[in-house]
Structure 1
Amino acid sequence: MSHSADRRIEMSRKIPLLGVRIVAPVVIILVWWFAVGVVMPAVDPARTFFFPTPPAIAAQFIESFGGSGLGEIVLPTLVRFVIGFAVATLLGIGWGVILGVYSTVRLAALPFVTFFRSLPGVALIPIVTLFLGLGDAQKVTVVVLACMWPVLINTMDGVRSIDLTLRDSVRSYSIRGADRYRFVILPAAAPQIFAGLRVAIAVALIVTVVTELFGASQGSGIGYFLVDAQGTFDMTSLWAGLVLLGVLGYGLNLLFALVERRILAWHRGAKANEAL
């Protein structure tokens, strides 16, 4: 079968799935609109204060996060998220490779890794605050401590699960030093590393917003916006903030999926060849 025919078959499979992805959110929005605009006013009018209609939320979304709101509310959260996630990625991959390669170090460090990965990241906020206060350093540090562990564990497991045949080939060809890590260990462990990064990216966004909620009497970011909306009983702004978090989470996950698909294209090709 030709390559163009394969692409047509793949596109024919993707179009119905794309339609479902578009129709499902539209149906949910219409059901919400009908429930809060028609049913709830007839059953319990007082509750309509807590559940604004989708058009009201959309208008508030544009007003709050368009223009200057993008730089004052959204950008601080994204900067903290990116820095925390980047540092956690470097530390997680670095330590994960070391623990995966050197069994003695792994055996010594595994009890500590198991202990600290069991601690919820948000539980560390009071302790970190004692040392770093409520500034950006505290927020980034908590994000790093919360989302480093999925990357570390998956990297370590990925390195340990490298095929024995590949290990023998490395020894046979005397591949040592940086080349061993660059051309053998990291590529072989990459699928599991990306699995850990996918988990960490969701954790990083959640923890970033939670740190902004903590002690948010003075601050910036989406968490501060949510606390301020709650304190002033601005329910429309509160729902707009929640929608923003959902949009950011979806967008970050989509961006990560595109990067993963590009970097791991060789892995999918290898799997396809194995299936033939």
Structure 2
Amino acid sequence: MPPRFFVFSFSSDISFNNLTGKIPPSLSELVLTDYIFLMENKLTGPMPGWVLSSTKNVDVSYNHFTWDRVSAPKKCEQDPTNVVESYSSITNEQSNIHPCLRKDFPCTKSYEQQICSLYINCGDYDVTVNNTNYEGDTERKGPSSYYNAGNWAFSSTGAFVYDIRYPNTYILSNTSNLNNISTVNTALYTKARTAANSLTYYGLCLMNGHYTVRLHFAEIVFTEYSPRKRVFDVYVQNFTVELHDGLSRQRSS
């Protein structure tokens, strides 16, 4: 990374840039910046102490930091800092590192504690649809957050700093007519979790095997009077997948 940064904005987002090296001290001196996003780079070295002590929203997830007993975090719940999967897989053999900090988030539970199915109602409360119980997801987290619900977790990055309609709102409610959706399934489309940069859900300790991933999509924000086109990728276990009638098939390992 360059040694100095000059940013005149509330948000400094340099994620997904293959940046290498250590985080320079100059980043901690950005007085006018409330959000610093460094996720999905190749940053190395010990994690600077100011990252964990900062009152700003800082996201350093998905990097390759070197484990240091003194400065390293002991857990992933470090609001307002997101550190999930921030340490290199080389450190996976060190048992004192929390699994959520390691690359690929390995499972440390016994076989008896692992699960073989998971249903989440993203952004809304518990609901039962077609005899299937969907776990609620109502945690009010957003810009640089990691949340662990037990059997699943999510990592959220990005701030809606220039969106005057939904300023830093990470759970949106339906404002559109839901066409071609059965009444039974309506509860799954009432609300949704959103993120400005990246949103990752984790199924924690799923047993190895073949799984069918069903994703429910509906436009619940833009009305028919302001049509938009959504363009996004879906990744399952770090691989881009093609969707076929809402189904994605991927082996868990």
Name the structure with the higher helix share. 1
Both proteins in one fold, TM over 0.5:
no
What interval of TM-score do these two structures reach, taking the shorter chain for normalisation? under 0.3
| TM-score, normalisation: structure 1 | 0.21
| TM-score, normalisation: structure 2 | 0.23
Q: Which protein has greater RCO, CA pairs closer than 8 Å, 6+ apart? A: 1
